[in-house]
Amino acid sequence: MAANVQDAIMLLGDSLTQGGYDLNGFVAKLAHVYNRKMDVINRGFSGYNTDWILPVFEQCFATQHEQQHVPKIRLLVIWFGANDAAPPPKPQHVPLDRFRANLRKLIWMVRAPESPHYSPETRIILMTPPPVNTAQRERAQLAKSPPKELDREFETTRRYAEAVKEVGKAESVPVVDLWENLYEAAGREEEKLEDFLTDGLHLNEKGYAIVFEGLEKAIKDAYPEYHYDNLQSVFIYFDLIAENPDKYMELTKKRSAFAHS
Amino acid sequence: MAANVQDAIMLLGDSLTQGGYDLNGFVAKLAHVYNRKMDVINRGFSGYNTDWILPVFEQCFATQHEQQHVPKIRLLVIWFGANDAAPPPKPQHVPLDRFRANLRKLIWMVRAPESPHYSPETRIILMTPPPVNTAQRERAQLAKSPPKELDREFETTRRYAEAVKEVGKAESVPVVDLWENLYEAAGREEEKLEDFLTDGLHLNEKGYAIVFEGLEKAIKDAYPEYHYDNLQSVFIYFDLIAENPDKYMELTKKRSAFAHS
């Protein structure tokens, strides 16, 4: 049983989050740069949309009553849209208005004092879904056994990315605009997104590098006090023990990662 | 604040564990294959030896009283020796007898009913330190500014690896013999360890791949019920929701990863 020694970053999302420990992905990188400062909790659920995530998030994010016992979530990253944007009648499809409302509800759950999950020390970041490469996606779908139809549209996913930005603006939540960052990296040519995607929808190592870069910058800009460079390790670095090995019992006492708190 | 939805694997070790999210390391791989089944908690502390880790572990591993509230540690991986084997008068040096005693104390803390940290559902795995490539290590130390002396010995680290195996035998704890696995992969030639090490002491991506392989096999052999292939996801896979989207509230209820518990 893990005692509660480190605060945490929770990543809430779909397969793009779930897969983020693979391929030197953004979750692995984040966990690495925050090592000994904050833990990273991957709550990525492949295939989920924002309708289905609401009851899951209620179970994953502690209630006020539970919060005293469990790791404090300092940062919550919310990354959806890739599945909500599946065109109807795909069961993953969530209409744009409800997509916006669902994102606002996730934010409300953490920020509203009347919410059972109210957590005033949790900062939030939204991320937009990556652009889709429909030609690459179609090839990947046709190569499946049995072959499947193209299941995403370039322009539709773009609108869901816009919706994330609208919610961010309305709720004063910083947004990492991955749609824009990736499309720009591809020279604003849909076909060139192949450099960053494995199957037209999911990210490869280069794509994940852009996710990490954008998220790191958003933390630095919006919540610099939570950036890893501004935290100290919960347990002291060994060279300070090595200078005073007789005092190791005293020196190995847990500290707050936040030097001034 | 994270509610307690998944049990966890805790990795207790030194820099080799701390660095395991980097370079497609074994921690990232473990977190990836266990995604949605168990969380991975990295408690790697660069430079620490088993003397210094004892008070840290007491703070990281919940007491019986705390255990009802926090994620259950199903698997504890203990990986030390690389720093304990530093030759005296290096302050990291821990004599062999005390190294063995410290490892046994860590095991006792989790397994003894009279221990405040007693946790009967936690399974334990020990790992041996990797072999040192002293020529490579010496070059890396000399390249530092200011240059440093060689700080490890091939034969000494081998004896610490043997000590880990002795403790495993005495305590009936499975051991991943990384010293052997890596030395064998290098054709039993110290110089050829360069293929698996960055600086004669720490692992590169190929070295970490051997760590993951050995650990995965140990879980499969010793604790098959905790192997990821034998666990179910805590939240159901999306395709089952997509078949019955009207029932999503019911279908998204948290389950135990252990289908039969």
Cβ-nearest to B61 among A2, A24, A67: A2
pLDDT at A20: 98
Tokens of B178: 């990384």
Whether the ω angle into residue B87 lies within 30 degrees of 0, i.e. cis, is: no
Peptide bond into B89 cis (omega under 30): yes
CB contact under 8 A, B31 and A36: no
Longest dimension (CA), chain A: 68
User: Which residues is B228 bridged to in the sheet?
Assistant: none
DSSP annotation of A2: B
Confidence of residue A104 (pLDDT cuts 50, 70, 90): very high
Residue A251 CA to residue A228 CA, distance in Å, equals 22
Closest to B167 (Cα-Cα) out of B238, B111, B89, B114: B111
Q: How far apart are CA A31 and CA A46, in angstroms?
A: 20
Contacts of A241 in chain B (CB under 8 A): 47-48, 52, 91
CA distance B86 to B49: 9
The yes-or-no verdict on residue A230 having pLDDT over 70 is yes
Asked if B12 and B60 count as a contact pair (C-beta separation under 8 A), the reply is: yes
Phi, psi angles (nearest 5°) of residue A139: -60, -45
Helix residue ranges per DSSP H, chain B: 15-18, 26-33, 50-60, 64-67, 96-111, 134-142, 154-171, 178-185, 205-222, 238-243, 248-251
Quote the tokens at residue A180. Answer: 């824009």
Question: Minimal CA–CA distance to A11: which of A99, A122, A137?
Answer: A122
Q: Distance between CA atoms of A197 and A101, rounded to whole angstroms? A: 29
Q: What is the pLDDT of residue B53?
A: 98
Which amino acid type is present at position B119?
A: S
- Interface touch A52/B239, C-beta < 8 Å: no
All domains in chain A, ordered by first residue: 7-230 (3.40.50.1110)
A2 falls in which pLDDT band (50, 70, 90)?
A: low
pLDDT value, residue A69? 84
Is B202 an active-site residue?
yes
Using alpha carbons, list the distances in angstroms from residue B100 to A43, A61, B167: 38, 41, 6
> Inter-chain contact A62–B1, Cβ cutoff 8 Å?
yes
Active-site residues of A: which are they? 15, 199, 202
Least CB–CB distance from A61: residue in B1, B25, B32:
B1
Q: For each of chain B's 261 residues, which pLDDT tens digit applies?
A: 567 899 999 999 999 999 999 999 999 999 999 999 999 999 999 999 999 999 999 999 999 988 888 889 999 999 999 999 999 999 999 999 999 999 999 999 999 999 999 999 999 999 999 999 999 999 999 999 999 999 999 999 999 999 999 999 999 999 999 999 999 999 999 999 999 999 999 999 999 999 999 999 999 999 999 999 999 999 999 999 999 999 999 999 999 999 764
Task: Write down the pLDDT at residue B231.
Answer: 97
Q: How far is A189 from chain B (nearest CA, A)?
A: 30
Q: What pLDDT shows up at residue A260? A: 59
Query: Are B177 and B198 within 8 A, CB to CB?
Result: no
Q: What is the pLDDT of residue B260?
A: 60
What one-character DSSP code corresponds to residue A132? P
Phi, psi of A90 (to 5 degrees): -55, 135
Which residues, in sequence order, are CB contacts of A39 under 8 Å at separation 6+?
A: A6, A7, A8, A9, A31, A71, B41, B42
Q: Are A40 and A7 in contact (CB under 8 A)?
A: no
Q: Are A82 and A157 in contact (CB under 8 A)?
A: yes
**Contact A21/B35, CB-based, under 8 Å?**
yes
Number of Cβ within a 10 Å radius of residue A256:
12
pLDDT digits (tens, 9 = 90+) for A111-133: 999 999 999 999 999 999 999 99
Task: Tell me which of A65 and A80 has the higher pLDDT.
Answer: A80
In 3-state terms chain A splits into helix, strand, coil percentages (rounded to 5) of 50, 10, 40
Cβ within 8 Å, pair B72-A44? no
Residues 6+ positions from A163 with CB-CB distance below 8 Å = A81, A96, A99, A100, A103
Strands (E), A160-208: 175-176
- The token pair at B179 is 């010293």
pLDDT band, residue A181 (cuts 50/70/90): very high
Query: Is B246 designated active site?
Result: no
- Give the other-Cβ count within 10 Å of A230's Cβ: 15
The CA distance from A128 to A82, in Å, is 9
Nearest CA in chain B to A83: B238
Q: Taking CB atoms and an 8 Å limit, are A21 and B31 in contact across chains?
A: yes
Q: Please give the average per-residue pLDDT across A69-89, as a whole number.
A: 96
Short-list B118, B99, B121, CA closest to B108: B118
Contacts of B56 in chain A (CB under 8 A): 235, 252
Q: What is the pLDDT of residue B169?
A: 98
Q: What is the pLDDT of residue B2?
A: 67
Measured between beta carbons, which residues in chain A are less than 8 angstroms from residue B10? 2
